[in-house]
Structure 1
Amino acid sequence: MVAVASSTDRPGALGITRRLAEICGPPFARLAGPADEVAGRPARWVAVPGAPHAAAEVLRLAARHDLTVAPRGAGTKIDWGAAPDRVDIMLDTGRLAGIGHEPVGSRTAEVGAGTPLRAVQATLERTGRRLALDAPSPGATLGGVLAAAEAGPLRHRHGTVCDQLVALRYLNADGELAGAGGGADGVELARLLCGSQGALGVLISATVRVQAVPASRIWVTRPVWTPLEVHDLVRTVLAARLDPAAVEVDLPAGAGPRPQRDGRAESMARHPSMTGRAATGPARAGTLVVLLEGGPADVAERADRLVSVLGPGASAAPSAPSWWRRYPFGPGDTALRIEVPLTHLHAAVYALRDAAGGPVPVRGSAGLGVVHAALPGDVTSADRVASILAAVRSVLLARRGRCVVVSAPEPVRQAVDLWGELAGLARLRAAKEHLDPHHRLAPGRLPGGL
């Protein structure tokens, strides 16, 4: 029986391993293991450079040998998006960490891409400052949050991490260190790099806005039963002009019409397309939560007004509910992100329920029309997911919305269009051709197979 040589036994593989060890240091370069993969695509080597110049050398090595490179931060979102066509070198940014020394009172901070977000917040809090970023992924690095354009509840007032960027430093595919920011062209490039999953450049550091830590925070909670009720209450909250920092909703899988005193479900005449599990069994309440931040007296006064505005069942608390800053999906689920103008969010959730045959978990920024949903992996086949996506996207198309598959099991990822319609594809293609003309950085990771 003839043994088949593995990819690491081919000529040149040992030399690549040795050269990576010279660049990064022997403990920080190795052959990839079973856990070293990007959306299911295994890597061949892992390199952990300790400085920007070392990361640049890794990229130059890859260019000389026609190898692909995929960056990785903490790996919290490494299964998001499309799988690259090939991953030769996984460039781990964990040592590209740290916070630059800024003058006291500075409104910005330069942070290394590999710095855990919680470490940044802990350091800033010692001087009474914070990043207005609350990404849900535990342990995520700032670079990982940027690469995935991840945002949490605070996006309602402060925008996403892309909105808070002042400047970026990154390496292009040839290992050249460059900057983005400052002028209109630089800001546009920085925002293209934000959310690019490492397929346009390797992020080295980011300069982001900082602000004072609010003196007081209060969460005002109100039970909700239907998407239409959420829609009406959110309009009421925003019309009250109480300057909320976040407006979040959690609708669990069992959420349905409010039970009446006689045990029957509330009439669904206001939305007759509500069918399936929503009309059967005991209803579970969802929750609408509004976060207020500011001075203690001001926040307390606004919280009292908001409780009155929201009506029966509303209450205020000094801490967030247990689901705050958590996604509704877990391992093995198909995770969706729905983005639609606020006035159409309830229609999008109803469309998802109708296509799925009943309520599915939905959670996110009700005040912005950006939510995540989960299709359970144990009961949803690839064909079923494709059918649900088609139905939801047809409803969203007329409402200027979109539905993206954030992550999914391999069979689903292979069978469905993860992105749907994408208006900026031509601009993205032009950026890829400019920054990575040989398609060495995570090829296939971006929409359109870029």
Structure 2
Amino acid sequence: MPADRTLDRLRAACHAAEPVPAGPARGDRDDDAEPVRAAGEGDAVAGVPARYVAAPRDTAQAAAVLRAAAELDLAVTVCGGGTKQEWGSPPRRLDLILDTTGLTGVVEHAAGDLITVVRAGTRLDALAATLAGAGQQLALDAPLPGGTVGGAVATNTAGPRRLLYGTPRDLLIGVTLVRADGVVAHAGGKVVKNVAGYDLAKLVAGAYGTLGLVAEAAFRLHPLPAAVAYVSRSADDAAGAARLAATVRAAQLVPAALEVAAAPDGPATVTVLLEGTPAGVAARTDAARRLLGADAAVTDRAPDGWGRLPWRDGGTGLKLTGALSGVPGLLAGARAAADRHGLPLALRGSAGVGVLYAGLPASADPERVAALVDAVRAATATAGGHTVVLTAPAAVRDRVDLWGPVDGLALMRRIKQRFDPDARLAPGRFVGGI
């Protein structure tokens, strides 16, 4: 079908959808703007250019677009704030970018029940400001400025506070999902104890948009803490910081976060985040200083780089996991491998749950980076975990398997077949080419 007729079909589908209601459900887009347009020069995902861009203003329009895309056999990738579009593998083909930045706003905030329902394109920082007015929070850190709710769910990204609060998958209690064929499905509910369809919400979290569009998400909230304290102590190296963290972990401090950070050269730091009542935080801060040493620093402000990923745009970013007992060895092994290959590896992550991130600059030699990935994978396997290359320059992508060996791949392929039998949603973006 000629491109202009395809564009007309997509536009007609949007215009024929249910009228966009007034108020916050419309998102932030101009009323007169066309919801579908031809792609421009910058409309690409992981370097793959698109042909069209659709920016629906509500779930009905999003469903209409995906229904028309199915009829036209268009490959679709969802994009929100664009902060993680370089994560994962490039799509095998890309016809349509579904832009969620018009799907913004809080649908419902049941403050008494500590529940909120929010649209996928809502920025995490904007949501935080809204919930703070009620003394509440969605306890997710935003490691990349400008990240959206949908992006956090799609990648299941969590920051330092995952130790206490968990990941998006743990906080998610329901979703409104638009399937590849445009059918709208609802899973879970708006109360924490509702379990109907709960597994679907768990399933789509971390699926990189390969199973459907999460148009709305219902989350469990937490009260904002009355007091916070960051207790930090330097160590000679990353492994030493991990040993300090293990000492804290063995105590009864109940920290909200327990982070280790190590620059490519120089000392490492372990930081404990404590939250709660002023009296409780003060008592636990004293206990943390006794564990870490009298020279531990205490502040009520997050240290520089807190919650940020240890790489810059265009660099290589790795996610390392391992058993808690293996974290010191994992940090030591990663640092030793970087030294052997002459690479400036930065490390940061949660020594409390065994999830670490490592970063390399874009200028790093691709062959050396590929060799380092192999070495780090061996270290994480020894620690009972895995290494995933979240993002990397094209020259590195060509040399490594981004995902590495993954258990249960056959089951994952069957799930993809059930949800998206024509493989049109983000084809090839996820593990095993899913």
TM-score w.r.t. length of structure 2? 0.91
Partner of 2:415: 431
Q: Over aligned residue pairs, what C-alpha RMSD do you find?
A: 1.6
Name which of 400, 408, 419 aligns with 1:416: 400
Partner of 1:274: none
Partner of 2:247: 236
Looking at structure 2, the residues matched to 307 and 124 of structure 1 have their Cα atoms a distance apart, in angstroms, of 32
Q: CA deviation at 1:190?
A: 1.8
Partner of 1:142: 149
- Deviation string 1:154-185 (CA, Å, 9 cap, x unpaired) is 10101101111101111111000012336778
- 2:42 pairs with 1:35: yes
Q: CA deviation at 1:322?
A: 1.2
- Deviation string 1:246-301 (CA, Å, 9 cap, x unpaired) is 011110010xxxxxxxxxxxxxxxxxxxxxxxxxxxxx222111000001111111
- 2:30 pairs with 1:19: no
Looking at structure 2, the residues matched to 78 and 145 of structure 1 have their Cα atoms a distance apart, in angstroms, of 12
Contact 1:250-1:362 at 8 Å conserved across structures: yes
Looking at structure 2, the residues matched to 128 and 37 of structure 1 have their Cα atoms a distance apart, in angstroms, of 39
Partner of 2:123: 116
Q: CA deviation at 1:356?
A: 2.2
Q: CA deviation at 1:86?
A: 0.8
Identity fraction in percent = 43
- Deviation string 1:195-227 (CA, Å, 9 cap, x unpaired) is 111111011111000111110011011112223
2:348 is paired with a residue of what secondary structure?
strand
- 2:358 pairs with 1:373: yes
Name the aligned partner's letter for residue 301 of structure 1: A
Contact 1:181-1:190 at 8 Å conserved across structures: yes
Contact 1:113-1:143 at 8 Å conserved across structures: yes
Looking at structure 2, the residues matched to 379 and 93 of structure 1 have their Cα atoms a distance apart, in angstroms, of 34
Partner of 2:214: 203
Contact 1:247-1:289 at 8 Å conserved across structures: yes
Q: 1:301 to 1:312 in 2, by over 3 A?
A: closer
Q: CA deviation at 1:440?
A: 0.9
Name which of 401, 406, 425 aligns with 2:390: 406
Further displaced range: 142-151 or 310-319: 310-319
Q: CA deviation at 1:315?
A: 1.7
Matches for 1:263-412 after TM superposition, within 5 Å: 284-357=266-339, 360-381=345-366, 383-412=367-396
Partner of 1:249: 260
Contact 1:335-1:406 at 8 Å conserved across structures: yes
- 2:55 pairs with 1:44: no
Contact 2:188-2:196 at 8 Å conserved across structures: yes
Q: 1:422 to 1:33 in 2, by over 3 A?
A: same
Partner of 1:7: none
Q: 1:184 to 1:395 in 2, by over 3 A?
A: farther
- Deviation string 1:76-105 (CA, Å, 9 cap, x unpaired) is 111101111011010001111111233441
Further displaced range: 340-349 or 287-296: 340-349
Q: CA deviation at 1:26?
A: 4.5
Partner of 2:26: none
Contact 1:167-1:208 at 8 Å conserved across structures: yes
Looking at structure 2, the residues matched to 354 and 322 of structure 1 have their Cα atoms a distance apart, in angstroms, of 25
Looking at structure 1, the residues matched to 274 and 132 of structure 2 have their Cα atoms a distance apart, in angstroms, of 19
Contact 1:167-1:181 at 8 Å conserved across structures: yes
Looking at structure 1, the residues matched to 379 and 135 of structure 2 have their Cα atoms a distance apart, in angstroms, of 46
Looking at structure 2, the residues matched to 295 and 352 of structure 1 have their Cα atoms a distance apart, in angstroms, of 38
Looking at structure 1, the residues matched to 312 and 227 of structure 2 have their Cα atoms a distance apart, in angstroms, of 32
Looking at structure 2, the residues matched to 293 and 380 of structure 1 have their Cα atoms a distance apart, in angstroms, of 42
Looking at structure 2, the residues matched to 57 and 63 of structure 1 have their Cα atoms a distance apart, in angstroms, of 10
TM-score w.r.t. length of structure 1? 0.88
Matches for 1:49-64 after TM superposition, within 5 Å: 49-64=56-71
Q: CA deviation at 1:240?
A: 1.9
Contact 2:35-2:54 at 8 Å conserved across structures: yes
Q: CA deviation at 1:348?
A: 1.7
Q: Give ranges in structure 2 of 5+ residues lacking alignment.
A: 16-31
Partner of 2:25: none
Q: CA deviation at 1:59?
A: 0.8
Give the length in aligned residue pairs.
410
Contact 2:334-2:379 at 8 Å conserved across structures: no
Name the aligned partner's letter for residue 386 of structure 1: A
Q: CA deviation at 1:389?
A: 1.6
Looking at structure 2, the residues matched to 177 and 370 of structure 1 have their Cα atoms a distance apart, in angstroms, of 34
2:269 is paired with a residue of what secondary structure?
strand
Looking at structure 1, the residues matched to 97 and 72 of structure 2 have their Cα atoms a distance apart, in angstroms, of 15
Q: 1:230 to 1:385 in 2, by over 3 A?
A: same
Q: CA deviation at 1:27?
A: 3.1
Contact 1:218-1:299 at 8 Å conserved across structures: yes
Q: Give ranges in structure 1 of 5+ residues lacking alignment.
A: 1-10, 255-283
Looking at structure 2, the residues matched to 187 and 411 of structure 1 have their Cα atoms a distance apart, in angstroms, of 40
Contact 2:239-2:331 at 8 Å conserved across structures: no
Partner of 2:232: 221
Larger Rg: 1
1:27 is paired with a residue of what secondary structure?
coil
2:113 is paired with a residue of what secondary structure?
coil
Name the aligned partner's letter for residue 361 of structure 2: P
Name the aligned partner's letter for residue 160 of structure 1: T
Contact 1:223-1:313 at 8 Å conserved across structures: no
Q: CA deviation at 1:41?
A: 1.1
Q: 1:399 to 1:250 in 2, by over 3 A?
A: closer
- Deviation string 1:13-47 (CA, Å, 9 cap, x unpaired) is 10122233341664332111222111111111110
Q: CA deviation at 1:425?
A: 1.4
Q: CA deviation at 1:146?
A: 0.5
